[in-house]
A and B are shown apart, each in its own frame.
Chain A
Amino acid sequence: MSLLAGPEGPAASTGWGHDHERKGFFTDTSICIGCKACEVACKEWNRNPIDGNLEILGSSYDNTGELGANTWRHVAFIEQGQERIEEAKESGRKLVSLGMPGIGPKSSGRRGATPAGDLSSTDRTPPDTPEFRWLMSSDVCKHCTNAGCLDVCPTGAIFRSEFGSVVVQEDVCNGCGTCVSACPFGVIERRDDGTISPFAHRGDTVDRMGTASKCTLCYDKMVDGEQPACSATCPTQSIKFGDHPDLTAEARQRVTDLHERGMTEARLYGANPKDGVGGTGSVFLLLDEPEVYGLPPDPQVPTKSLPATYARVGVAAAGMIAVAALSFLGGRR
């Protein structure tokens, strides 16, 4: 839908050729235990500063708040009562019956005995709705197929890597901040504060100061064939790293499995290539509406209308050239 991402995937359209499989995350929040190892492993590898002023934030067990310049993995904690759980089950059920992209033909027979898409033979009586649940979800940069931050960056500081990820080059970034407003998820931020040492040595050096900052999908690990720090450490593998097509297939299968078990609240986020960002490199399995987790329900890349704009600009320019040419020709006459 966008001019800027070709049909062969983001890496191919940015000069990397066709030999690179797009990499990404599948974050299955149904098995997240909220341990925050991802947050720590990320900060430790990337030497990111701590966030906040070391006070309880007032958001259950979450004290880092949101993704930003310093926190590239963030675990949300949501406490919910029975009524809300019922609503989530209902909305998830509707998504499936509407043919949500999350429930497609089964791509592989790796898991589950029942063919995906055919839920008729399974007992779909939902288990008793619990009175309470505690949702945990690790959020991260989406590495959009059509990445607003990348498209608007005026300096070429942000680039699409051979892995399909979107990476900021701090040595190029001039800190203009254009990208910040272009991210529909509010992920990228300029790092203008932060320390790893809270009170003793405020002066210790922090990398990336003054530049735009976000998850790189551990680009500096991937060039060496390693996986990102967060997925490597995730105890339950709620965060999985791998080839994007495999992960989305696995994610779809997992939703099918969960629906078969009556967990109709399960649904995917970011797996739809027709959404406002062309799908994301980081796919999520959620157990409620995206808003509940602080995710926009319908993210739109700001450069979505760029092709149309270019077309109009092109017509206008062509017209002007034609007028100029005509007048030129007329002048000659």
Chain B
Amino acid sequence: MAEAHPVAFQWVIEAKKRGARVIHVDPRFTRTSANADRHIPIRSGTDIVLLGGVIRHVLENELYFKEYVQAYTNASTLISEEYGDPEDLDGLFSGYDPETSTYDNSTWAYAGDEESLARGLPERDETLQHPRSVLQILKRHYARYTPQMVQDTCGIDPEDFEYLATSIAEASGREKTTMFAYALGWTQHQGGAQMIRTSGILQLLMGNMGRPGGGIMALRGHATIQGSTDIPTLYHILPGYLPMPKVGQDDFAEFTRAIGKKEQKGFWANADIYTINLLKAWWGENATAENDWGYHHLPKLTGAHGTYQTTMRMLEDGVDGYFLFGQNPAVGSANGRLQRLGMSHLQWMVVRDFYMIESATWWRDGPEIESGELTPEQIATEMFFLPAANHTEKAGSFTQTQRMVQWRDQAVEPPGDAKSDLEFMYDLGVRIREKLKDSTDPRDRAILDLTWDYPVNEHGEPDAESVLAEINGRHLEGEKAGQPLKAFGEMKDDGSTIGGCWIYAGVYADGINQARRRTPGQDQDETAADWGWAWPANRRILYNRASADPQGRPWSEKKKLVWWDEEAGRWTGNDVPDFPLTKRPDDPGDPRQGGAAALSGTDAFIMQGDGRGWLFAPTGMVDGPMPTHYESPESNIRNPLYLQQSNPTRVTFRDEDNLSSPGAMGPGGEVYPYVFTTYRITEHHTAGGMSRFLPYLSELQPEMYCEVSPELAAEVGLEPYGWATIISARSAIEAKVLITERMTPLQVGDRTVHQIGLPFHWGQGTEAIISGDGANDLIGMNLDANTQIQNSKNNSCTLIPGRRPRGPERGELVEAYRRRAGLIPSEHPEVDGAEGAPGAGPADTSVPHAVRGPEEASAVPSGERSMKEMKNR
């Protein structure tokens, strides 16, 4: 956090001065560790075991917050008799289909009759003793996550574990709260979503959700990466987390019922209203009840269409054109070489940026040009570089990491040809609509029927506030016609209102740009409700009903936030209550109705169909209702818990250039004996597009480096601040060597695990002030099945002293190691270039095939590129 979010860390320093204990769990000792009370080094990718160990600790020792758990979580809910736990099925949950490598989650369902379940009233055992109650299932599931298991898996000694577990237990309850902050150290794993889930379970058990000083803080890395999921440029969702329709969802009513049924509890019951308002915002008067509000204009998904699937499609010549909006995938995306090769298969490409980033210049100075693999004369891709306006040259809003929308005013006009993306997209839309205006092709209707009429200024720049107003929504009819919506509760299902993103309704309430509010922090209380605007409804802490006890009283004076005011007959407090305002704490709810009316006075988790926080998630996760530990795809450690080595639902791609080390599952794993993990550092920003072109940032961290422990440096023969070459099954890169005790070899069972740190900010090119090899070139496209996000945090490599070879020899070096690992057939075993190469480690043939998991997929590619996703063990 001190590394990547230094300004936010001021609050940690403040808390620490007031007595808070700060514990930093990270493979590396970072600037955060330097300011923490304790740094606990961990083997990357084992967080579920560590947190599962804490869950076991608080359950076995009855340290969890019982009243909170009883009232606000699904601990008492009974689960289907069909449910089978990995503890009984050796690492698999019930419902696994090895043919498709996916789960049918029907056996994870709550117990109860269909009607009751639909209304969020499953069978419960309030004593929490029933063997099929969630609490008992949880207990059994984590029973083996002992301190010893933590040590044998994470490399964390029992004293450190005790310190962590005790700290969390002691700093939770009525008087205190514990907060988790995480970033991509959890996200970028196969199973990353489940790591976050594990902390969710722990925070629910400890009563730390919906309370001040609690929660799970996602430290997001880009100015509006939160906004980019709220109002997404993502393939799988529409604004406001409404899903994109999938093939076969041709009935509008069925589509919205799949999101939320009218009779279900909570606010998803109005999914149809949110969808209608979105469609109505997009297609205006062309969206009518008769044509299902234009629903049939929406394209349909057939599986995942994430950025890595798109890369594979590019390589098959299946994509013509590619737009980059301030993004540098030649450096920032996994398997950089495939990213660049993919671009070389395009017909045309538009790069919008401030600087000549590597994704704009790969065709003339990229690594494949250096190696001779590509020459500009062979590359057909037509390139358009369009300069972009920066944040001072346009008005607009960013949504920061705590869902707060903040408006920026425009300070100056953009220079030269530079334009905002708003103007670019609007102008492109206008041109395309003009060119198609006489088209009778039904395929063009969706474009021509679109509302696309934003007011522009004298420079042709659309008024960003008018777009924000559309996102907010407005009344179309009646007395309030033309007035902005005050809240999503004003949305109607009859076409009389529009709203582009239901959770943002209210950001333009009363025709005032609420995101532009700037009452100084020093003139407000700590909630600072009059600065910016947080979705939904300017609420700063979600599910804050849980900050009060079931009777509506604050759990403690010290931790009070929102409470029931009996005299006023409403919820009140220091934040906007996240609950129906006048619903009494003892309101039983009306199950005959759906939506908010069905919520009882203690159903604090108002978006859930049962009103409870989910310790056990019957739906929503594709790889299990509870997190369970698997090893990462290239891990050289056998899963200490199950025969099942890695996540059975993981997603990867067959390609000769997207190979993986077999890790512990094959003898070749020892060719790549070390773990490398990638990260951001304070002085740079993502793929460097906004830092490596700035002199003042470039001088602070001028060169790509790797961080290694003194022990590993001695083992491999590295010199301080000399060069090393890091070789994975995908690529070989060079880096300066920082030998430091900040890297700790970990003892895991009888194996010493060496982890290497690699910042990911550098890329090869000639335009930036500083350049260097890119860490992401080393990483394979192995994805989490829930999120389609790549595993960047735990991959295998070897390390040799010196710089990497230039020209074609770079690829040959990579190939030599692949051959040695058996990833590709050994063509000339006698002259195997990697034989005896320093650091390659002994070729360990002692691992018998018998330890390989069932249906272990061969690491050898089929030889032909295929879009087919390979899901394996």
Does A159 reach chain B (CB closer than 8 Å)? no
Does A54 reach chain B (CB closer than 8 Å)? yes
A60 touches B33 (CB 8 A): no
- Chain A residue with Cβ nearest B697: A40
Binds A, one of B239-247, B316-324, B700-708: B700-708
Does A162 reach chain B (CB closer than 8 Å)? no
A63 to B9, CA, bound (A): 23
A63 to B684, CA, bound (A): 14
A72 to B35, CA, bound (A): 24
Interface size of A as a range: 35 or more
Residues of B within 8 A of A136 (CB): 31, 34
B2 touches A58 (CB 8 A): no
Partner of A33, one of B9, B699, B700, B720: B9
Counting chain A CB atoms within 10 Å of each CB, the highest count among B6, B9, B32, B703 belongs to: B6
B699 touches A64 (CB 8 A): yes
A50 to B696, CA, bound (A): 6
Binds B, one of A17-25, A102-110, A193-201, A319-327: A193-201
Interface size of B as a range: 35 or more
A134 in contact with B31 given A36-B682, A235-B10 (CB within 8 Å): yes
Residues of A within 8 A of B13 (CB): 31, 33, 236-237
Binds A, one of B107-115, B734-742, B806-814: B734-742
A39 to B682, CA, bound (A): 13
Residues of A within 8 A of B9 (CB): 33, 235-236
- Chain B residue with Cβ nearest A64: B699
Residues of B within 8 A of A197 (CB): 695
B 682-704 to A, binary, CB cutoff 8 A, 1 in contact else 0: 11000000000001111111110
Does B769 reach chain A (CB closer than 8 Å)? yes
CB distance from B777 to the nearest CB of A (A): 20
Does B452 reach chain A (CB closer than 8 Å)? no
Residues of B within 8 A of A79 (CB): 740-742
CB distance from B839 to the nearest CB of A (A): 21
A55 in contact with B702 given A35-B31, A60-B740, A81-B741 (CB within 8 Å): yes
Does B149 reach chain A (CB closer than 8 Å)? no
CB distance from B762 to the nearest CB of A (A): 12
CB distance from A233 to the nearest CB of B (A): 9
- Chain A residue with Cβ nearest B740: A79
Partner of B699, one of A50, A60, A236: A50
A174 to B369, CA, bound (A): 51
Residues of B within 8 A of A94 (CB): none
Does B831 reach chain A (CB closer than 8 Å)? no
Counting chain A CB atoms within 10 Å of each CB, the highest count among B681, B695, B700, B721 belongs to: B700
- Chain B residue with Cβ nearest A61: B701
Residues of A within 8 A of B7 (CB): 235
B699 touches A51 (CB 8 A): yes
B702 touches A33 (CB 8 A): no
A37 in contact with B6 given A60-B740, A132-B742, A136-B31 (CB within 8 Å): yes
A133 in contact with B34 given A61-B701, A79-B742, A81-B741 (CB within 8 Å): yes
Does A52 reach chain B (CB closer than 8 Å)? yes
B34 touches A34 (CB 8 A): yes
Residues of B within 8 A of A134 (CB): 29, 31, 33-34, 742
CB distance from B9 to the nearest CB of A (A): 6
Residues of B within 8 A of A81 (CB): 741
A42-68: which residues lie under 8 A (CB-CB) from chain B?
A: 43-44, 50-52, 54-56, 58, 60-61, 63-64
- Chain A residue with Cβ nearest B683: A36
- Chain B residue with Cβ nearest A52: B699
Residues of B within 8 A of A31 (CB): 13, 35
A131-157: which residues lie under 8 A (CB-CB) from chain B?
A: 132-136
A58 to B34, CA, bound (A): 20
CB distance from B164 to the nearest CB of A (A): 15
CB distance from A92 to the nearest CB of B (A): 18
A40 touches B696 (CB 8 A): yes
B695 touches A34 (CB 8 A): no
A39 to B699, CA, bound (A): 11
CB distance from A40 to the nearest CB of B (A): 5
A198 in contact with B6 given A34-B31, A50-B699, A55-B703 (CB within 8 Å): no
Partner of B698, one of A56, A198, A235, A236: A198
Partner of A56, one of B35, B696, B736: B736
Residues of B within 8 A of A61 (CB): 31, 681, 701
Does B724 reach chain A (CB closer than 8 Å)? no
A56 touches B705 (CB 8 A): yes
A136 to B2, CA, bound (A): 12
CB distance from A160 to the nearest CB of B (A): 30
B 727-750 to A, binary, CB cutoff 8 A, 1 in contact else 0: 000000000101011100000000
- Chain A residue with Cβ nearest B703: A56
CB distance from A109 to the nearest CB of B (A): 16
B682 touches A35 (CB 8 A): yes
Does B770 reach chain A (CB closer than 8 Å)? yes
A233-249: which residues lie under 8 A (CB-CB) from chain B?
A: 235-237
A63 in contact with B701 given A33-B9, A44-B696, A54-B770 (CB within 8 Å): yes
A136 to B29, CA, bound (A): 14
- Chain A residue with Cβ nearest B19: A261
B628-668: which residues lie under 8 A (CB-CB) from chain A?
A: none
Residues of A within 8 A of B10 (CB): 235-237
A56 in contact with B31 given A63-B700, A198-B769 (CB within 8 Å): no
B742 touches A50 (CB 8 A): no
- Chain A residue with Cβ nearest B737: A56
A64 to B697, CA, bound (A): 11
A196 touches B695 (CB 8 A): yes
A63 touches B33 (CB 8 A): no
B34 touches A60 (CB 8 A): no
A198 touches B742 (CB 8 A): no
A1-47: which residues lie under 8 A (CB-CB) from chain B?
A: 31, 33-37, 39-40, 43-44
CB distance from A319 to the nearest CB of B (A): 58
Residues of A within 8 A of B698 (CB): 50, 54, 198
Residues of A within 8 A of B741 (CB): 79, 81, 132
CB distance from B743 to the nearest CB of A (A): 11
CB distance from A266 to the nearest CB of B (A): 14
CB distance from B770 to the nearest CB of A (A): 6
Residues of A within 8 A of B738 (CB): 56, 60
- Chain A residue with Cβ nearest B736: A56
B6 touches A235 (CB 8 A): yes
CB distance from A287 to the nearest CB of B (A): 11
Residues of B within 8 A of A33 (CB): 2, 6, 9, 13, 31-32, 34-35
A51 to B700, CA, bound (A): 9
A54 touches B6 (CB 8 A): no
CB distance from A278 to the nearest CB of B (A): 31
A55 to B770, CA, bound (A): 9
Residues of A within 8 A of B720 (CB): 58
Residues of B within 8 A of A40 (CB): 696-697, 700
A79 to B34, CA, bound (A): 10
A236 to B697, CA, bound (A): 20
B34 touches A54 (CB 8 A): no
- Chain B residue with Cβ nearest A200: B769
Residues of A within 8 A of B769 (CB): 54, 198-199
Residues of B within 8 A of A199 (CB): 769
- Chain B residue with Cβ nearest A37: B6
15 contacts between A and B (CB under 8 A): A33-B35, A34-B34, A39-B696, A52-B702, A54-B770, A56-B705, A63-B699, A63-B701, A79-B740, A79-B742, A134-B742, A135-B34, A136-B34, A199-B769, A236-B10
Q: Besides A134-B34, A235-B9, 18 other CB < 8 A contacts? A: A33-B31, A33-B34, A34-B34, A34-B682, A37-B6, A40-B696, A50-B696, A50-B698, A52-B702, A54-B703, A55-B702, A63-B699, A63-B700, A133-B34, A199-B769, A235-B6, A235-B7, A237-B10
**CB-CB nearest 5 A-B residue pairs:** A54-B702, A33-B2, A134-B34, A35-B6, A50-B699
Q: Which A residues fall within an 8 A CB radius of B?
A: 31, 33-37, 39-40, 43-44, 50-52, 54-56, 58, 60-61, 63-64, 79, 81, 130, 132-136, 196-199, 235-237
